[in-house]
Structure 1
Amino acid sequence: MKKINKEQIFHVIQIGNKGDIASRTFDIFITVTILLNVAVMVLQTYEEFTPIFPILNVIAFVTILLFCVEYGLRIWTADLLYPEVSRRKAIIKFLLSFDGIIDLFTILPFFFLSGFVAFRFLRVIRIFHLFRINGQYDSFAVIFSVLKEKRNQITSSLVILMILMLASSIGIYYAEHEAQPRVFRNAFSGIWWSVSTLLTVGYGDIYPITTPGRIMAILTGFLGVGAVAIPTGILSAGFVEHYAKMKLMNNFARDEHIDLLTIHVTEGHCWNGLKIKDIGVPDHYLPAIVTRDGDSLIPVQDLTLKIGDTVVLAAEAYFSHTY
């Protein structure tokens, strides 16, 4: 009985399980809790609301308490989230995951570190809970899918940007150090200027006054336009490719009179760790194909789904017509 209750709780607290009314209700409840918590954090920055600070503190305490309960439940059910590893490793894996770190940094400052400015700043991290509201749905799934597919290209472009930033910082030091020794004191003192110039924001608080320094600024500005455009172009191309694939699949399905559904298995999804034979699919639909790391897999009954998999469901009529 305990195992059944644990599984029921696990499925309820998983975000994006639209087919389960209890899970859907929990999603709405935790969304309201997150929004209340963020609203309190914002209102506490206004002196005009000082008279109602005691009420806001109570709301903050209650919402944090709810986060603690949710955090405890997620630790308790971690072995169901990561069934391929032992319970201890599953808990560690959750604690080190994005959701686990955000949950921890959300509740920790409230109870133990509220007296330190540096740790009070960590309260801002609770805003990242908002990602969990839509993180399992189509709009965010598309973004995460594109970022994952283009992660190598994006990483390369960021490395190029870091190299340009370091080179321009050293260059502006040699060009401006003698003229502005207090502003450009060492090779790394130009980092702020380098970032503002490469990213074309140009705050103007630090600027070159010598001719070599201004030439360096011109070159850095031109390089910055190209460096910033690289990851933008990569992401744009990724979105175009993704939607082109979706359009091609939909056109194929329409021409062949096939109804298709695409399910992305992400961290926290109720299908993660389940076998094909154990997943619940809509009526009159069957798994048609599973894509994993760019490979297409046949959805055999014993195939275990993992984070990052994409399951394509086709109408049952298509299978009866084909086979």
Structure 2
Amino acid sequence: STTAYAVAFISVIMTTISIILFCVETLEKFSKSHCVADEAPNFLDPFFIIETICTAWFTFEAIVRFISCPNKIMFWFGFQNLIDVTAVVPYYVTLFNVVSTMSCSTAKSSASLAFLRVIRLVRVFKVTKHSTGLQVLILTIKASSEELGLFLVVLLVCMLVYSSAIYYAELGVPKSDFHSIPDAFWWAIITMTTVGYGDTFPVGPFGKVIGATCAISGVLTLAMPVPILTGHFNKFYAHKTGRCKYI
């Protein structure tokens, strides 16, 4: 219906604005404009007003979904419902803290409140309700969970093997960066994923051979889940777009 499309459009716009605001407010020229430590909060700041409007809309959505849900207990087990609730909780907790103290000091320095601000990013998942592509992606990951679990196990085993190998290969080599096997975990993952930051690297000849082997095996390991993910994605995408009658 027209109303449903209008609500969906507003929800996407509010989510987009909220995510952009979350990123922009961390810029240095904006980070001190709306909530400065040891000063009273500015409730007329544009950032606060926009965030309040977005949160009010998300709260309205959550309340309407709860009221219209026939089973109030099962409401709390729905993924989208949990996203709706989680998207608004950080705002109210932070607002209560700031209003009760009339200061931004705790909101800026508290690790728990900082974590709550990061939780606001779950709002991006609200878009999945209105995006076929994101729904297909989630279904693909769910259908491939067993294969992805196997892939992670293989990746973990390879990480342990190459971390141990590089440690003993570089043992006693001058200026070596590998002082223990746990220190080599980072190098193994970065090498296997072919990222190669270059902050840690083998120096000795045996270490370089192991490093090359690690990189090659990493490419082969990363290629394992690609056909499975592609197959599931094509299947769900065809079903979602109505180009396939049967899955």
Secondary structure of the 1:192 match is: helix
Q: Which amino acid aligns with 1:67?
A: F
Instruction: Please name the residue that 1:108 is paired with.
Output: 90
**Rg comparison, structure with higher value:** 1
Instruction: Please name the residue that 2:170 is paired with.
Output: 176
Distance 1:208-1:105 versus aligned 2 partners, 3 A rule: farther
Larger RCO (alpha carbons 8 Å, 6+ apart): 2
User: Deviation per CA, 1:112-169, whole angstroms, max 9, x where unpaired?
Assistant: 4834246425534434423332445432333333333333222222221122122222
Name the TM-score, length of structure 2 as normaliser.
0.73
More divergent stretch after superposition (176-185 vs 151-160): 176-185
* Cα distance in structure 1, aligned partners of 2:228 and 2:18: 36
Q: Is the 8 A contact 2:141 2:229 kept in 1?
A: yes
Q: Which amino acid aligns with 1:64?
A: T
1:93 to 2:87 alignment: no
1:192 to 2:192 alignment: no
Secondary structure of the 1:41 match is: helix
* Cα distance in structure 2, aligned partners of 1:106 and 1:246: 30
Name the TM-score, length of structure 1 as normaliser.
0.58
* Cα distance in structure 1, aligned partners of 2:87 and 2:32: 28
Q: Is the 8 A contact 2:55 2:91 kept in 1?
A: no
Matches for 1:195-214 after TM superposition, within 5 Å:
195-214=189-208
Distance 1:176-1:64 versus aligned 2 partners, 3 A rule: farther
* Cα distance in structure 2, aligned partners of 1:211 and 1:162: 25
Q: Note the C-alpha offset of 1:45.
A: 2.3
* Cα distance in structure 2, aligned partners of 1:243 and 1:108: 34
More helix by share: 2
More strand by share: 1
Q: Note the C-alpha offset of 1:235.
A: 1.5
* Cα distance in structure 2, aligned partners of 1:242 and 1:151: 15
Secondary structure of the 1:207 match is: coil
Matches for 1:11-30 after TM superposition, within 5 Å:
20-30=1-11
Q: Which amino acid aligns with 1:93?
A: F
1:35 to 2:16 alignment: yes
Percent identity, aligned pairs only? 22
1:239 to 2:222 alignment: no
Distance 1:123-1:166 versus aligned 2 partners, 3 A rule: farther
Instruction: Please name the residue that 2:103 is paired with.
Output: none
Unaligned runs of 5+ in 1: 1-19, 252-261, 263-290, 295-323
Matches for 1:132-281 after TM superposition, within 5 Å:
132-179=126-173, 183-241=177-235, 250=243
Q: Note the C-alpha offset of 1:46.
A: 2.5
Instruction: Please name the residue that 1:298 is paired with.
Output: none
Distance 1:241-1:108 versus aligned 2 partners, 3 A rule: closer
